[in-house]
Every structure is written in structure tokens, then in C-alpha cells.
Amino acid sequence: MVDSRFFQKPAPASISDIVTLTGVEVVFAGSQTPDLSRRFSDVAPLDKAQADDISFLDNIKYADAFALTEAGACFVRRKFADRAPKHLVLLITEEPYFAYALIARHFYSDTVFTPEISAKAHIAATATIGKGARIDAGAVIGEQAIIGDDCWIGANTSIGDGVVIGKKCSIGALCTISHTMIGDRVTLHRGIHIGQDGFGFAPGRKGIVKVPQLGRVMIGNDVEIGSGTCIDRGAGPDTIIGDHCKIDNLVQIGHNVQLGKYVIIAAQCGIAGSTQIGDGAMLGGQVGISGHIHIGSGVKVAAQSGIMTDIPAGSTYGGSPAIPVKDWHRQTIAVANLLKKKETSE
Amino acid sequence: MVDSRFFQKPAPASISDIVTLTGVEVVFAGSQTPDLSRRFSDVAPLDKAQADDISFLDNIKYADAFALTEAGACFVRRKFADRAPKHLVLLITEEPYFAYALIARHFYSDTVFTPEISAKAHIAATATIGKGARIDAGAVIGEQAIIGDDCWIGANTSIGDGVVIGKKCSIGALCTISHTMIGDRVTLHRGIHIGQDGFGFAPGRKGIVKVPQLGRVMIGNDVEIGSGTCIDRGAGPDTIIGDHCKIDNLVQIGHNVQLGKYVIIAAQCGIAGSTQIGDGAMLGGQVGISGHIHIGSGVKVAAQSGIMTDIPAGSTYGGSPAIPVKDWHRQTIAVANLLKKKETSE
Amino acid sequence: MVDSRFFQKPAPASISDIVTLTGVEVVFAGSQTPDLSRRFSDVAPLDKAQADDISFLDNIKYADAFALTEAGACFVRRKFADRAPKHLVLLITEEPYFAYALIARHFYSDTVFTPEISAKAHIAATATIGKGARIDAGAVIGEQAIIGDDCWIGANTSIGDGVVIGKKCSIGALCTISHTMIGDRVTLHRGIHIGQDGFGFAPGRKGIVKVPQLGRVMIGNDVEIGSGTCIDRGAGPDTIIGDHCKIDNLVQIGHNVQLGKYVIIAAQCGIAGSTQIGDGAMLGGQVGISGHIHIGSGVKVAAQSGIMTDIPAGSTYGGSPAIPVKDWHRQTIAVANLLKKKETSE
């Protein structure tokens, strides 16, 4: 199913291999002949999969596609097993998407690249480039910059003076990075801007003065950041992105913001300066968060919410201004009821 | 009126030419001498136009400017004709902006460029470049990529391995495109990122696993996409942008999203993964749409709305969470009335 | 405190110097020996400052850090002076952040660069480059473009044909600028796109016609624009950004928009076409403003608000659709009270 222009054909995997990788229970339903050596050649969505493909059902919205799938095998929760077509080998797990991800990664391992420093890259004499690195055409590496082993720096990307990038990082094309220290195994997609001046202006009776932005951006290990995202450097303190954070496209992160570990931020969120977000927090798309506030660990925020005050750890908020999500849903209903009352009295 | 630094002086057009192009009815009001051979040399806004210029009135907000305009001729609806100054030649049409667009395109045809492959572009040996193409300095074209006839690839843009671009496409400067097939007559403005990994993470008890993104982006014919917009490639299915879609700046389109034909999306909208939008739908600015939902054909959504559920074809929605727009307006009034009641009882 | 990889060590300043620069009143509290010749070597945040550092307290949220600071001196309002630790030299002012900004600028003056035109830049034969300019690798300067004295054009940035840039401007890496005139002392950060076609489509019974965009972008003096921001050129009139405007990251400004002077726009705002904003207006983050409306001088808009109608000068608005901010707060309370009533009656 996968377009060979863009992806290399994977080596096949047997059902035994799948069990070893994912720990699923295998069910050969109906009159199927149990055969753990049966091999599958690819993964595919339910509606496009063929007999040699493995698929998954994670969202109940796709139950109909599951019932009709021509896939050979499918990761699925036990409770949906009885909806399966008779030919399907069931790979039973309570985490079908997670198991799918593991097998998909088995088929399609992280991009392997040939180390090569393009003659058309512009690398400062004092920069240090690690072993096994690939630097594409038009990339600019500044003075005293350090690029770790096995990094890939994309075309026309600009790495500023003094920037340090750890090992096995992938920096996409057309990024700009300055005033920044990056850990290991970090993936930046394309068109990301990190380390520019924060929006720091001091208004006074004599006009507006630009405030020098004297901090850095510190990015931990295993971070992934989406295309078009901007992260301003600190004003004095640093802007900090903790280990394992996953940040989607077109997100704005202001100066001095501190993200804990495993924070997940969906597309187009904006986090104003000096706000702190605890470990494992999750923000839906287009959320806005005011400056100088504290979001506790494990907090979840509904899409498009506006956070103006501190939020205690573990809570779920929604709305603008945001309130506990249960109250938000009840308010939505109460406001809708205003119309019903009016209709009744009309 | 137009700055000759940036635009070439157009050839003049007579009133007869205008009628032929746009089908308008011409009215020489008052004591004007009817003269269909009278020629106009340019288009201009109502408040800046001179006797040789053609203007248009489409939005009632500009009726005062219309009454005072020094333009020589003006596209206008019949119902506003009696507000015209006496010297004005009236070009009567119920679609004045559409007619203006046709005549403006007559004056200023699409950019004509000289085919040239810059010696400073970086083109892979196995790439195919069509006849009449222009490739600017710093552009990078990957292995096996195919660029159609008469395409213009802007400066420092990166086209990935295997990407296929049809005929007469204009790809602006500083774009990145990978894992993508593009139709004919497509315009991409600048700084657009298409084909990167979608935001695909499978959280499980053993951590977060990145899910390989194995689909493509399929862009139809006659599509236009604004600066800074990001379109992620499919996770398994493809991300699809139908023919004639018009997408504004800084829009986020997640993996597996499918847009029908003639979908119009204003700036800063975000569409989460796997959502489908029908033909002719229109989204106002900053709209957010959840994943895995279905927006019917012809749906209109007010700016800043948040769509969390399916919307039936032909309906108009507003608010966050969005509801039918009439209910939304009535809710807004009902909530405002809460204050009035309070004031009355105080 | 500041990382010497990224910032040059400043020359020290005495308390006398500070008084001269900022006009503060100096208080040597408790048993301190008054010594106006005491020198400080740097600025630092309250929680990281040491005895040789100057800090500031502007936001009451940091009062605890102020009480515990090890800084040597601190800008502070008189009313907080009694919370200071005994060793601290108090620099009393009603504008502590403004004073901090002045002294930080004294320590860290604007970036000084060595004029140099990279051999790897691509400069058209008819372009004019001013004295003292720096043009980095991969930058493309178009035909007839004029770059003023002492400008810095970043790596891989594209300046289109005919663009005029004034003196002492800093244009970051990976920007695209076309159809634009820029004043003096303008700072553009990275990945900014200015001058592309606005989103101009005329829908009619016979389809959608792209409307030629025949205006320019006119940017005044002393403007600063954040990374990822997009400013479309005018459709016929120009898009205008007045002197001293400060625009944050990822902002969208549509065609024909006119900003007065000293307008401040936070991140991710979107302003639709032909809207006018008066001098000194301030928009919070993620605000959306409809097209063809007028925002008066000095207007303030709360974050995430949606403006759909004209706003009179001097007023403060919030909400979506936005209303006077006091009414918005009262509505928020009235809606919350709907739940309380329900709880009471349950």
C-alpha cells in the first residue's frame, strides 16, 4: 500500500515475530488454520489493507471499516473481536494503537542516511561536526557550533554561533536555531525557529524600550517539535523544554517558559512568557495560556481553551476563560437551556 | 496608481473590451457622451482612482467613497447606481467584485517568467525538470523528483526525493515539500511545509511510541496555499487536498485530513487528523476542527469557531463548541440579557 | 549568569552610572555603607542574581523571590521596598522594568557586526547595497532592490525585485520579502513572509477568480516583527505598518490592513483584510479581527478575543464576539451563576 517513491519496502514479519514484539494474544477465529509462521509484508489502514497487511482498530468510529476489512491480521481490543470478518487473524491487546506503532516501526525503521557533508553547505571554520553526520546543501553552521554524532541537518537550515546539538538529532530543512542547547535524539521538523528574541518591550512614560533577551533555549533529550513552531529564548532565565516533550506544528512558546517532561502540545497553541507547565500535561489544539502562571503536572486542557490562572496538578480544564471541564460542559448546557426556556415562554 | 517597481504597466482596455470580458451593462449617466471606445489604463481603489482608472463597489461600507470617487468607470450593482458621481461611467453587474477581478486579470496577467535553471540551484542527477521551468538560486531538488513544464520553483525551496509536481505550478521561496504529489496550476506561496510527519504518538503503559507516518499528501489541480501553512502527510491513508481548494496563511492541516473540491479555508485555521470536509465548505479565520469528524458539503463556519462534532451538509455553524449559527447568535443575546436582568433587579 | 557562548561580557557600571542612565533614587537600607562608586557587572533574574548583579521586581508574583534574592541591587517600586533583604541596594522607581531595560541595554548593546557580503550570497547586478551592510550566505537580493546602510540580511533570506530597505535594519535568516518598502531601524526576526498575494478570490456564478493583488506593504521606522509572521501585500491600496509597531510571532496580517503607530500585537493574532487599527492599540495573544472594521486609537483587546465590529478609541474589549471588558467579566460571572442556581435548586 505504501508508495515506494517515498518509503523502502520492508522485510516481512511472521505472527511469531509480532507476538515477540508486542505481546499480543493471537486468535485464529472460525475455520482458520492456526499458523504462527504466516508472514505479513506491510501495515495498512482498515479500508485499504489486503491479505498480506496488518491493520488496527483503536477508535470505535472505524468499527464498520473493521467489519469489512480485507486485512490479513488486525490489532484489536477483546471487546470488539466478535465484529471481525471470519478471515481475520485477531491480535488481541488493550493497546491496539501502541502495538500497531511497534510493528510499524519494525517494518519502517527510522530513516537511515548516508553521512555526507554537502560541498554546498557553509560551515564555519571553528564549528565541530560529529562522526556520521549529514549536512545538506545550503545549510549554514556558525562559529563554535557543535553538532553531535549521527545528526542530520537539513537543506538551507541556519545553526547560529555557539549552538550545541547532541547525538542522533534530526534537524529539518529551513530551520533557524540560535542561543540554544539541544539534547540527544531530538527531532525538529521543517521551518522551526528557535532562540530568537522574545517579545520583550518595556513601556514607560518616555516610550517603549526593547529589553535585551539574555537567556537561552534548553531542549532536553527525545524531544520532537513540529513545523513552523517558534520558541523564543529566555529574557534572563532560560526557556526550557523538558525531555520527551512532543510539540506539534505552528506552536508559539514565549520567553522563559518552562515545560516539564513528557508535555504534549497540539498544533497552534500559544504559551505566553514565564509560564511553567508540569510533567505529562497535555494541551489540545489552539489553546492559549497567559504568562507567569503555573500549570500542574498531568493537567489536560481542551482544544481552544484560554488559561488565565494557575491550574492544579491532575485536573482537566476547558473553555475561555478555562474552568474545570465538567463545569464547562454544564455551563454549555445551561446556556443552551436559556434558549429552550425562551422558546417555551414564547 | 500601481507601483512600477513591482508591476508592469498594463495595456489599456476600451469599454467595449470590458463588456466583452465581463458582460456588464454600461450606463452613461447624466450628460455623459456615450463612447464605447473610451479607454482605461488601470484599476484602482475608489479613493485613489483617477479618470483613466476603473474601480468597483462591492461592500456597502465603501458607499461614501463611491459617491466621492474620481474614477472614470466603476463596477457596481444596479441598486447603488443612483449614488454615483455624475462623471462616472457605470458598469452594472450583480457581481461587481467578480467583474473587477476579470478586468484586473486582463490588465495584470499571471506573472510571466523567463525559463532559467539557476547555476546555484542543487538538482539531483535523477530529477526530471520540465520544459520552460524556472528554478531559483538555492533551491534543492531531490532524487527522482519530477517537476512539470512551466513550473517556477522559488529560491531556497527544498523539494524532497520522489516528489511529483504537475504543470504550470508556482512554488514560492523557502518552502519544503516531501512525500507529496501535486497537480497542475497549483500556487504555493512562501514558507509552506508539506509532507512532514504528522503528530503521531501512541501512548501506552510502557511510554510514548512515535508512529511511522506512511502516507503521502495528494494535492489536486488549481489549488492555492498561503504562506506559513503546514500540511502533514498521511499516517497510512493519504492527506488529500481536492481540486480548486484555496487555503490561506498559517493554516494547520493534520495527517489523513481529506478536503473535497473548492474548500475555502481562512488564515490560522487548524484541522486535526483524519477529519473530512466536503466540497465547497468555507471556514472563517482561526477555526479549529477536531479529529475524526465529517463536515458536509457547503458548510460555512464562523471565524474562531470550534467544531467538535459532525456537521450536516449545507449548514452554517458558529461558536466554541460550535452550534447552528442562528442558535449561536440567540445564545449570545440570551447571555447578554442575563446582565440586563441583573441590572434591572439591582 | 549570561552564557558567554552567545553574549559578550559587558563592561561594569557603577551606581552613579545607573542613576545617570535611569534617574532612579538610590536607597542603602539598614547598615549598608552608602557607596555610589560600587560597580555591578551584569543583570540577572531575582532567583539567580549574585552580589555583582542588578535585578528588578515588576510583577508582584515574584515578591517572594525578591525577599530571598542574593542580587546586589534591584530596581523596585517604593511600595515594595520594605520587603527587600538587608544587603540589597534599592533602586527606587515607579517603572522598574523600564529602568531594567535601560541598564540591560547599557550592558548589552545592539549586536555589532562586521560588514561583509558573503561570496555565497546571490545579489542581482542591478541591486544597490549600502555601506556597512552584512549579507549572509545563501541570501538572494533581487533586481533593482535597494538595501540601506548598515543593514544585516540573514542567511538564505530572499529579498525580491524592487524592494527598498532603509538604514540600520536587521532582517533575520529565512525571510521572504517582496513588493515592500521598509523604513529605518526595522528588525525582522526569522522566517517572516512579507508581500505575498493576499487571500483574494472573487466567487461568482462562473467559479472562483483569483483577484490580482496590486498593492504593496509599507513598513515604517522602528518596527519589530516576530518569527513566522505573515503580512500580505495590498490588493490595490497598500498594507501599512506604522512607525514603532511591535508585532510578535506567528501573526497574520491580511491585505490592505492599516496599523497606526505604536500598535502592539501579541503572538498568533489574525487581522483580516482592510481593517484599520489606531495608534497605540494593544492586542493580546490569539486575537482575531474581522475584515473592513475600525479599531480606535489606544484600544486594548484581551487575549483570544474575536472582534467583529468597530471599537471606539480608548476602550478595552474581551470575549468572542468581543464586548466591553467589564461586561465580558460580568457575563462570565453571570454564566457561572447559572450553575450555582441549578445546584441550589437540585
B196/chain C closest Cα distance in angstroms = 18
Name the nearest CA neighbour of B292 among B320, B271, B263, B319: B271
Question: Residues of A with CB below 8 A from C227's CB?
Answer: 176, 193, 196, 230
Name the nearest CA neighbour of C264 among C234, C303, C306: C303
Name the nearest CA neighbour of B138 among A151, C177, C174: C174
Grid coordinates belonging to B189? 506561496
Question: Residues of C with CB below 8 A from A331's CB?
Answer: 335-336, 338-339
Cα separations (Å) of B49 from A77, B69, B93? 68, 7, 20
* Residue B211 touches partner A, C-beta closer than 8 Å: yes
Q: What is the pLDDT of residues A63-78, one digit of tens each?
A: 999 999 999 999 999 9
Q: Do the Cβ atoms of C48 and A237 come within 8 Å?
A: yes
- Report yes or no on C286 lying in a domain: yes
Residue A346 pLDDT level (bands cut at 50, 70, 90): low
pLDDT at residue A345, rounded to an integer: 59
A12/chain C closest Cα distance in angstroms = 43
* Residue A106 touches partner B, C-beta closer than 8 Å: no
Q: Are residues C276 and C186 in the same domain?
A: yes
* Residue B306 touches partner A, C-beta closer than 8 Å: yes
- Find the mean pLDDT for residues A91-97: 96
Mutate which of C135, C252, C287 to disrupt the B interface (most B C-beta within 10 Å)?
C252
C336/chain B closest Cα distance in angstroms = 11
* Residue B208 touches partner A, C-beta closer than 8 Å: yes
The CA distance from C60 to C46, in Å, is 13
Name the nearest CA neighbour of B73 among B98, B97, B44, B101: B44
- Is residue B147 classed as helix, strand or coil in its secondary structure? strand
Residue A69 has what DSSP assignment? -
Nearest to A228 among B193, B205, B330 (CB): B193
* Residue B101 touches partner C, C-beta closer than 8 Å: yes
Nearest to C270 among B1, B190, B286 (CB): B286
Cis amide linkage into residue B321, ω under 30° from 0 = yes
In this complex, which chains have at least 3 CB pairs below 8 Å with chain B?
A, C
Question: Residues of A with CB below 8 A from C193's CB?
Answer: none
Q: Are residues C182 and C322 in the same domain?
A: yes
pLDDT at residue B208, rounded to an integer: 86
A303/chain B closest Cα distance in angstroms = 8
List the single residue in A with minimal CA-CA distance to C332. A321
Single out the residue in B66, B83, B107 at which a domain terminates. Answer: B107
Q: Are residues B96 and B185 in the same domain?
A: no
pLDDT at residue C118, rounded to an integer: 96
Q: Are residues C98 and C233 in the same domain?
A: no
CB C199 within 8 A of CB B266: yes
Longest dimension (CA), chain B: 85
Interface of C with A in 63-92 (CB under 8 A): none
Q: Are residues B198 and B284 in the same domain?
A: yes
Q: Do the Cβ atoms of A330 and C339 come within 8 Å?
A: yes
Single out the residue in C107, C142, C162 at which a domain terminates. Answer: C107
Q: Do the Cβ atoms of B327 and A339 come within 8 Å?
A: yes
Q: Are residues B188 and B280 in the same domain?
A: yes
List the single residue in A with minimal CA-CA distance to C251. A252
pLDDT in tens, chain C (346 residues): 688 889 887 889 999 999 999 999 999 988 888 999 999 999 999 999 999 999 999 999 999 999 999 999 999 999 999 999 999 999 999 999 999 999 999 998 766 789 999 999 999 999 999 999 999 999 999 999 999 999 999 999 999 999 999 999 999 999 999 999 999 999 999 999 999 998 999 988 888 899 999 999 999 999 999 999 999 999 999 999 999 999 999 999 999 999 999 999 999 999 999 999 999 999 999 999 999 999 999 999 999 999 999 999 999 999 999 999 999 999 999 999 988 766 665 5
The CA distance from A203 to A206, in Å, is 8
Q: Are residues C103 and C179 in the same domain?
A: no
CATH of the domain at B51: 3.40.1390.10
Q: Are residues C211 and C293 in the same domain?
A: yes
* Residue A173 touches partner C, C-beta closer than 8 Å: no
Q: What is the pLDDT of residues A265-301, one digit of tens each?
A: 999 999 999 999 999 999 999 999 999 999 999 999 9
Average of per-residue pLDDT values in chain A: 94
What is the sign, positive or negative, of the torsion defined by CA atoms of B160, B163, B167, B169? negative
Range of the domain at A24: 13-107
- Non-local CB neighbours of C340 within 8 Å, separated by 6+ positions: none
Nearest to A102 among B122, B209, B338 (CB): B209
- Report yes or no on B314 lying in a domain: yes
Catalytic residue among C179, C189, C244, C255: C255
Q: Are residues C182 and C319 in the same domain?
A: yes
* Residue B204 touches partner A, C-beta closer than 8 Å: yes
Q: Do the Cβ atoms of A202 and C45 come within 8 Å?
A: no
- Non-local CB neighbours of B104 within 8 Å, separated by 6+ positions: B43, C211, C212, C214
* Residue A125 touches partner C, C-beta closer than 8 Å: no
SS3 letters for chain C?
CCCCCCCCCCCCEEHHHHHHHHCCEEEECCCCCCCCCCEECEECCCCCCCCCEEEECCCHHHHHHHHHCCCCEEEECHHHHHHCCCCCEEEECCCHHHHHHHHHHHHCCCCCCCCEECCCCEECCCCEECCCCEECCCCEECCCCEECCCCEECCCCEECCCCEECCCCEECCCCEECCEEECCCCEECCCCEECCCCCCEEEECCEEEECCCCCCEEECCCCEECCCCEECCCCCCCEEECCCCEECCCCEECCCCEECCCCEECCCCEECCCCEECCCCEECCCCEECCCCEECCCCEECCCCEECCCECCCCEEEECCEEEHHHHHHHHHHHHHHHHHHHHHC
Name the nearest CA neighbour of B281 among B298, B256, B258, B268: B298
Nearest to C237 among B48, B226, B246 (CB): B48
* Residue A218 touches partner C, C-beta closer than 8 Å: no
- Find the mean pLDDT for residues A234-243: 96
List the single residue in A with minimal CA-CA distance to B235. A45
- Find the mean pLDDT for residues A177-190: 98
Single out the residue in C77, C107, C137 at which a domain terminates. Answer: C107
Nearest to C193 among B98, B105, B227 (CB): B227
* Residue A321 touches partner C, C-beta closer than 8 Å: yes
* Residue A290 touches partner C, C-beta closer than 8 Å: yes
Question: Residues of C with CB below 8 A from B97's CB?
Answer: 202, 211
Q: Are residues C185 and C311 in the same domain?
A: yes
Q: Are residues C305 and C185 in the same domain?
A: yes
Q: What is the pLDDT of residues A3-46, one digit of tens each?
A: 888 988 788 899 999 999 999 999 998 888 899 999 999 999 99
Q: Are residues B83 and B195 in the same domain?
A: no
* Residue B329 touches partner A, C-beta closer than 8 Å: no
pLDDT at residue B170, rounded to an integer: 97
Please identify every residue of A annotated as catalytic. Answer: 255
Question: Residues of A with CB below 8 A from C339's CB?
Answer: 327, 330-331, 334
Active site annotation includes C255: yes
Q: Which residues are C123's β-sheet partners?
A: C141
What average pLDDT values come out for chain B (346 residues) when binned by 10 residues?
83 94 92 92 94 94 95 96 95 96 88 90 97 97 97 98 98 98 98 95 88 96 98 96 98 98 98 98 98 98 98 97 96 90 61
* Residue C208 touches partner B, C-beta closer than 8 Å: yes
Q: Which residues are B43's β-sheet partners?
A: B54
Indicate whether A111 pLDDT > 80. no
Question: Residues of B with CB below 8 A from A5's CB?
Answer: 144, 161-162, 164
Name the nearest CA neighbour of A291 among C247, C324, C61, B288: C61
Name the nearest CA neighbour of C84 among C101, C71, C99, C95: C71
Question: Residues of C with CB below 8 A from A250's CB?
Answer: 228, 250
Q: Do the Cβ atoms of B6 and C216 come within 8 Å?
A: yes
The phi, psi pair for B17, rounded to 5°, reads -55, -45
CATH of the domain at C318: 2.160.10.10
- Report yes or no on A178 lying in a domain: no
In this complex, which chains have at least 3 CB pairs below 8 Å with chain C?
A, B
- Report yes or no on C149 lying in a domain: no
* Residue B333 touches partner C, C-beta closer than 8 Å: no
Name the nearest CA neighbour of B104 among B59, B51, B42: B42
The CA distance from C23 to C338, in Å, is 52
* Residue C213 touches partner B, C-beta closer than 8 Å: no
Q: Do the Cβ atoms of B122 and A104 come within 8 Å?
A: no
Nearest to B335 among C164, C200, C335 (CB): C335
- Report yes or no on B212 lying in a domain: yes
Grid coordinates belonging to B226? 498561503
A313/chain C closest Cα distance in angstroms = 19
Q: What is the pLDDT of residues A125-159, one digit of tens each?
A: 999 999 999 999 999 999 999 999 999 999 999 99
The CA distance from B228 to B192, in Å, is 5
A110/chain C closest Cα distance in angstroms = 28
Looking at the structure of chain B, the number of domains it has is: 2
Cα separations (Å) of A60 from A86, A87, A93, B215, B289? 19, 20, 15, 22, 19
Nearest to C335 among A208, A237, A331 (CB): A331
Nearest to A321 among C224, C285, C332 (CB): C332
The answer, as to whether pTM is greater than 0.80, is: yes
- Report yes or no on A260 lying in a domain: no
- Report yes or no on A210 lying in a domain: no
- Find the mean pLDDT for residues A208-214: 92
